[in-house]
Amino acid sequence: MAYTTINGIRIHYDIQGSGPALLMFAPGGWRSVMSRWTAAGGKEAWKEMDGIAALSQHFTTIAYDRRESGLSGGRIEPLSWDLYVQEAKALLELAGFEQAYILGCCMGASLACAFAVRHPQACKGLLLHWPVGGFLWQKKGRTFFQRHIDFVRANGMAAVIARAPQGENFWIDPEIGPWGSPAAVNPDFAEQLLKVDVAQYIAICEQSRDTIFNDTMPSGASGEELMAIRIPSLIMSGADSRHTRSSAWALKELIPGAELWNVFPPEQTGDNTLDQVLGFKRRLEAA
């Protein structure tokens, strides 16, 4: 595990293995951390497979805690897919690669789509695992932001900072907000958060909410942007209210030539998911 600074923010990352690069966007919403790839931390999506350990036998894996998650830092500014993509592209360059397979799970699949739209030349192929989207996903995100905004209005920033270490992150405890995680691990950041103007801060939260949860489409890219993607893509659908089958089908319909694995949870396992990823890699290498 190592740290680097990207766009002025300290990022916790890990590079393992050898072979073609695999840039990994972790599952978990605002718990997008490296431990979510492991058998223990990511058992919902990855079940018995330790994703980094298994995939690093076949790729150079590039994984990280996304900004405002885990041990990475943050900055109080309107959050957007552009910011997340800038972070990912800089990390790929830090690893010494111009191109990679892109693996995104959950909200990470949204980032993978956003990355493909902005940097298609850097993508060998897209692996979209349990993509999120749909009305219930949008409702969850907008509701969580509103819970945080209401908490700030009622209690002030000091209450957010006091609660952050117990809440751990925004997706577990919405009241601490998207900047609760860096405030919990970084006293200097907590001090910045304490001093922010509340009205300005709430406006930033609202702008972030409206950018990330702007409609019921699969997150990360518009329909027009998805239709313009010319990158080999494999979609591995989830089957719950967040990782919806409808999102997987929408991606299949809109991304030209995309493959959809016709197996759904709970029939997906660590082993057959790994087989799908490696089969996709073999097909692209053969082509």
pLDDT in tens, 148-184: 999 999 999 999 999 999 988 899 999 999 999 999 9
56 and 62 Cβ atoms separated by less than 8 Å:
no
Using alpha carbons, select from 42, 16, 39 the residue that is nearest to residue 29. 42
Give the DSSP letter string of 154-173.
HH-HHHHHHHHHHH-STTT-
The full set of domains in the chain, from first to last, is: 2-133+217-286 (3.40.50.1820), 136-212 (no CATH)
Res 1: pLDDT: 77
Over 80: is that where the pLDDT of 42 sits? no
Maximum C-alpha span of the chain: 59
CA dist 142 and 136 (Å) reads: 10
* Prediction pTM value: 0.95
CA dist 76 and 193 (Å) reads: 8
Over 90: is that where the pLDDT of 44 sits? no
Query: Mean pLDDT over all residues of the chain?
Result: 94
Angle at 175 between CA 70 and CA 29, to 5 degrees: 40
pLDDT tens digits along 67-106: 999 999 999 999 999 999 999 999 999 999 999 999 999 9
